[in-house]
Amino acid sequence: MTDRYAVIGNPISHSKSPQIHKMFAEQTGQDIIYVAIEAPLDGFAATVERLRKEGYKGCNVTVPFKFEAAMIANGISSEAMDALESNNEADAINTLLFQTDKIGGRNTDGAGLVNDIEKNLKIPLKHKRILLIGAGGAAAGVLNPLLVASQSPLVIYNRTLNKAENLKKTITQHEKFQHVSIKPVEFGKLGDAQFDVIINATSAGLTDSEIPLPETVFAPGALAYDMMYGRETPFMKFARKHGAAVVTDGLGMLVEQAAEAFFIWRGVHPDTAPVIKALRQQQ
Ligand code: NAP
């Protein structure tokens, strides 16, 4: 029987997830369908309940429901889920797995980002100086796996300082990060620090807004990574101009986070390279 999955968001019409999962299913021979569903802004939990009653096996969750998804996940896990660095302490979840009376939740964005950087771009994160720009859902979702991969101090740089401070507070409640140096810094106060990996996890690119960065912020060989995809953002343009060695958007992360979700649901790892290539050709 065909198993059903969905991505829930608002708005959702722009989502590439149905196309990505269709390609994964064709490639792996998994019998699934995957649809995009727009939930009313006050109707996320009710939409999940409806899908569960209709027999769906799981869903992805996107803006603005990732924090609500964390509230309804009630604890089941599986081998595939346990293999991921848990982000539940960051309270932003993008993948739900439905079982008879329970809902499992994980955030696959962080694994997606780390896989894109280390596997696809072939840039090891270990001992790299990382600047994470942003302190919203996307930043919260990737912080744990980034820290595990880098094992290094990290700076969270955000327009609103107290959101960066809250993110630090949340992550350092986790025992394994209690002694990790995480420094929240507000826009304009970076000084002359240099970084090897600079990740833009803000939505500033949506409005073509600049991120205030010193021109010297990119260390020799630095990676500039914008989680946004679909167009060259002001951050990417700035990085090209001021010495980043590698500049990329977040399309690879999008496909890699989807692959992690597919593995949670189906126990099969799809090959992401041809899917990334196909989507790049459409850009
Ligand atoms: P969010 O929770 O709304 O957070 C937005 C963040 O962007 C906050 O840190 C906010 O700063 C900052 N921001 C917004 N407008 C800004 C501006 N004009 N200048 C500077 N900072 C600004 O959003 P999110 O869920 O974290 O998503 C952020 C981005 O990541 C989106 O573009 C999303 O598409 C992308 N994303 C991509 C993937 C992928 O797979 N490639 C996955 C997840 C997310 P304040 O705290 O000061 O408001």
Domain boundaries, the chain: 3-106+254-282, 111-249
Condensed to tens digits (0 to 9), the pLDDT of residues 82-122 reads 666 555 545 688 999 998 888 999 899 999 999 999 999 99
As for ligand 1, residues whose beta carbon falls within 6 Å of it are 63, 109, 112, 134-139, 158-160, 163, 201-204, 206-207, 209, 211, 227-229, 250, 253-254, 257
Question: Is there a shared CATH topology between the 3-106+254-282 domain and the 111-249 domain?
Answer: yes
Instruction: Give the pLDDT confidence score for residue 199 in this predicted structure.
Output: 98
Distance of CA 200 from the midpoint of ligand 1 (Å): 8
Q: Ligand 1 test: best mutation among 203, 233, 257, 279, most atoms within 8 Å of CB?
A: 203
> How does residue 74 score in pLDDT terms, banded at 50, 70 and 90?
confident
Atom of ligand 1 nearest to the CA of 249: 41
Instruction: Give the pLDDT confidence score for residue 1 in this predicted structure.
Output: 86
Topology, domain 3-106+254-282: Rossmann fold (3.40.50)
Instruction: Give the pLDDT confidence score for residue 80 in this predicted structure.
Output: 65
- 116 vs 122: CA distance, rounded Å: 8
Tokens representing 242 are 């001021």
Q: Are 90 and 163 in contact (CB under 8 A)?
A: no
**Percent above pLDDT 70 for the chain:** 94
Condensed to tens digits (0 to 9), the pLDDT of residues 191-217 reads 999 999 999 999 999 899 999 999 999
Q: Are 92 and 63 in contact (CB under 8 A)?
A: no
Condensed to tens digits (0 to 9), the pLDDT of residues 208-253 reads 999 999 999 999 999 999 999 989 999 999 999 999 999 999 999 9
Q: Within a 10 A sphere around the Cβ of 79, how many other Cβ atoms?
A: 8
Give CATH superfamily name and number for 111-249. Answer: NAD(P)-binding Rossmann-like Domain (3.40.50.720)
List, by residue number, the catalytic residues: 66
Atom of ligand 1 nearest to the CA of 205: 32
